[in-house]
Chains A and B, each alone.
Chain A
Amino acid sequence: MEKLENREDLVRYINSLKSGGKKKNKKLVSVCGGPGCAVYGAEKVEAALVDEIAAQGLQDEVEIKTTGCHGFCEKGPILVIHPEGIFYPQTKAEHVPEIVEKTIKNGELVDKRVFKDPASKKKTPYEKDVPFYKLQKRIITGNNGLINPRSIDDYFACGGYKALEKALFDLDPDTILNEVKTSGLRGRGGGGFPAGIKWATAKRHEGSRYVICNADEGDPGAFMDRMILEGNPHSVIEGMIIGAYAIGSHEGYVYVRYEYPLAVKNLTEALKAAHEIGLLGDNILGSGFNFDIHISRGGGAFVCGESTALMASLEGKPGRPRAKYVHTVEKGFRQNPTVLNNVETWANVPVIINNGADMFSAIGTEKSKGTKIFSLVGKVMNTGLVEVPMGTTLRTIIFDIGGGIPKKKKFKAVQTGGPSGGCIPEQFLDLGVDFDELAKVGSIMGSGGMIVMDEDTCMVDVARYFVDFLKDESCGQCNPCREGIKQMLHILTEICAGNGKEGDIELLEELGAMVQKFSLCGLGTSAPNPVLTTILYFRNEYEAHIRDKKCPAGICKPLFHYEIDADACTGCGVCARKCPQEAITGEKKKPHELDQSKCIKCGICYDACKFNAVVIK
């Protein structure tokens, strides 16, 4: 790879990519290589494509590209054929020959493979018309389907490093800072702190300043940072270089979770390429600015996502947080001024520099600007990653984009913000999602996890689940968090086991308030949120557990049993065949019976019955 010595080199290089190479009318087949599609066998599809294209002698007319995540994980493996943008979901290797023959060779659609929108029943052959994508605004994620994450040229071709060019040669560091400030960009990792203010504060302090990217993504159910790092690592690198230039830093780190080996691989490759071509290292593009980025891998500790714990971990120590009497912008990593931002926050920076602060702040709500990526998961039809303008309502996200709840079940709640967040009930579905609106209903934006829950989810169990999570993740330094969480867990476990007592709910509220107020770090101060919001909105479920000894959702085993509704049962026999305990008997076409003494409440019959004849009592 040639080394670009100055601005002219860069411009010439990018222009040469545009004019050269690409044959006119060349087709591009983009195969999603994201984690969701990989699980469903995307690799086999790609291999079949390569073979078929070769067998048909089409190598010169067709380019096959494995890209990062396209977002629509539910329908993987996803194949998109450009320039038309033909969208084929749920492709299998055996579909490939027909797709190559018809669509790639003859420009016809393969009718059977075309996406049919389950809601409108309409066929939507083009990616841009698929409702899942149509209602999104994909500023950060839109290029994922066009970029091979291992190719810096692909990033250039999508306008990559244009913002860096502008920053280094047309703007001075303070102008960049101001631009980020006026854009209103707030941190995407949880707190929503204004990025520009953080940068400016770090700049006011002397020392060797550091910029760090938080890619610890500990919030279970959220995977947008993984998507960005795996699919478009250069966008994060570009953001970090610009940030470093703005605050005068010469060294950066990316702290990545151990669980994301592909992100580490793609990022490592991207850093190497940026280095070789002269966008990292000494005297970047002859500007006189030096900057380099290193990778550090985490060790599977949730608390290491917290800023001070992350920095301790980077220094090779156990990742324990410290009290923030002195902020990390003054004394952070190696006791020096440090700017820590989330992956998605960094990826927004080039967008702001390219389009200007005004264009950026035109998107979103009064106090939350730009877009946000949400991971829409749990009991929802279209699981995947969704990027929408701040202020989009929960209803639009869950029902219009997400397609609603599967199996005609009823929506119960959506959990946002991970273990520090809360559960939002139906009455707030028309809430426009931004940092402040979520806080008003007792939850938080967090990093953007959105876990949809239906009528079969027990809210007391959900609260117990999160507290159990946090019990394992509490670093144990401070008493309120360590002991408070343990006590809350004890009470919740007893309630779920059928041993709840009058007064338990009040005790939980009291303990929660104490832990919120007196814990050392953000883990503790936010830990009671899932408990307090479920009590606030689903108190009746707690009461049913405690007073009536019933779990209405049929999750807490000691508190319910299954019965067969003789009126609804058609005697099809599916449940009896599937029951591992042989607890169900009955004649064909006659209502069946369930022997309670044999039943282990595994729920197989409940899931299997198509007539809703197995009921929770």
Chain B
Amino acid sequence: MFHEALKEMAITIKVFGMLRSILGEASLVLDPPPATVHQLLNELSVRYGERVREELLDEGGNLDYAYGIFVAGEKLNNLSAKIEDGVEVVIASIIAGGDHSY
């Protein structure tokens, strides 16, 4: 029972773009789940090395505009943003380029 409850709290991270090439993974599960973006970055850096933090943060230590960290379509814009238990987090490179008219 206890184990099952814990599992429900875990968050899934889906990774797209540059970060995927750095992590070598398309998706991963963090259990126990991080409570904030800051903790999420810490956890990823412990697992995959400091490169993660270097990649996701700009020179001023803020989230780099080249990435978006999303929960249910909502972009988390700062390190203190909260992450609810059990959610799916998407980390993706963002560009506006390329378009079509069809």
- Bound together: no
Listed in ascending order, the chain B residues whose CB lies under 8 Å from chain A are none
Listed in ascending order, the chain A residues whose CB lies under 8 Å from chain B are none
